[in-house]
């Protein structure tokens, strides 16, 4: 069982985060959720999800498709005393999905101004898996340079860019393609999208 920190920031496409949380939960891995303040606003804007201040996990457990709610916990974004803030308690992987250009910039430059940025910093220093799923368009020079810097540091940059070669018929198939590519980078088996079959009869060999 993997221990994964899943973070949702205030980029459009928080549905990617929701589907990732659901799928990792279905696969039976432990998750600690981190949601930035902007992430909470976009969850409310795009998914009509309002995070209750007194019981933050309740709304997620009530509305998302979680087969093992016991495997999910949540830390406050400003609680830098949380266990996961320490390199001695680093999770196996940190996934920021979706990732804003702001969080991406702060992680690229080691700001660690909240628990999420600190956990990403820890992942980099402890050589743990760090996957960022940026969502922005178009990209300016700062965005591109920050992504390149993170890639050079060992992070995986997996942009929210669905493919069309498998003829998606719904928005959920487009979302699941991106989530599936993130799971590929965690080496977790799934059937969220159909892999490219090639165009020749013998391409499977
Ligand atoms: C509805 C909405 C959509 C947004 N979409 C994006 C986006 O796709 N990418 C991005 O980088 N910022 C986006 N933003 C702006 C970020 O939320 C904003 O920069 C915020 O300060 C990021 O904070 P965070 O990185 O702590 O989550 C969006 C904001 C709103 C309200």
135 is in an annotated binding site: yes
165 is in an annotated binding site: yes
The answer to whether residues 132 and 101 touch, using CB atoms and an 8 Å cutoff, is no
Atom of ligand 1 nearest to the CA of 38: 27
| Amino acid 13: pLDDT | 98
| Residues 92-111: tens digit of each pLDDT | 999 999 999 999 999 999 99
103 is in an annotated binding site: yes
For residue 57, CA distances in Å to 34, 70, 91 come to 11, 11, 20
Q: How far is CA 40 from the centre of its chain?
A: 15
Tell which phi-psi region holds residue 187, choosing left (phi > 0), alpha (psi between -120 and 50) or beta: left
For residue 48, CA distances in Å to 3, 10, 12, 29 come to 28, 14, 13, 26
The answer, yes or no, to whether any atom of ligand 1 lies below 6 A from the CB of 159, is: no
Ranges in the chain, pLDDT < 50: none
| Amino acid 58: pLDDT | 87
| Residues 140-150: tens digit of each pLDDT | 999 999 999 99
2 SS3 class: coil
The answer, yes or no, to whether any atom of ligand 1 lies below 6 A from the CB of 147, is: no
The answer to whether residues 125 and 88 touch, using CB atoms and an 8 Å cutoff, is no
Q: Whose CA is nearest to atom 21 of ligand 1?
A: 38
Name the CATH topology of 3-185.
Answer: Rossmann fold (3.40.50)
The answer, yes or no, to whether any atom of ligand 1 lies below 6 A from the CB of 42, is: yes
Q: Whose CA is nearest to atom 31 of ligand 1?
A: 42
Residue 111 CA to ligand 1 centre (angstroms): 18
Domain map (residue ranges) of the chain: 3-185
């Amino acid at each position: 069982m993997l221990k994964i920190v899943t973070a949702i920031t205030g980029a459009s496409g928080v549905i990617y985060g929701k589907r990732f949380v659901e799928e990792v939960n279905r696969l039976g891995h432990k998750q600690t959720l981190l949601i930035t303040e902007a992430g909470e606003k976009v969850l409310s804007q795009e998914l009509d999800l309002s995070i209750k201040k007194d019981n933050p996990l309740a709304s997620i457990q009530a509305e998302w498709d979680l087969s093992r709610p016991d495997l999910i916990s949540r830390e406050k974004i400003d609680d830098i005393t949380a266990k996961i803030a320490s390199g001695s308690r680093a999770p196996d992987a940190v996934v920021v999905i979706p990732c804003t250009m702001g969080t991406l910039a702060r992680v690229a430059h080691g700001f660690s101004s909240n628990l999420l940025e600190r956990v990403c910093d820890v992942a980099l220093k402890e050589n743990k898996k760090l996957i960022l799923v940026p969502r922005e368009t178009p990209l300016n020079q700062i965005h591109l340079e920050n992504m390149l810097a993170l890639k050079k540091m060992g992070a995986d940059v997996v942009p929210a860019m669905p493919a069309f070669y498998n003829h998606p018929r719904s928005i959920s198939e487009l979302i699941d393609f991106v989530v599936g590519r993130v799971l590929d980078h965690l080496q977790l088996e799934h059937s969220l999208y159909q892999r490219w079959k090639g165009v020749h009869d013998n391409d499977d060999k």
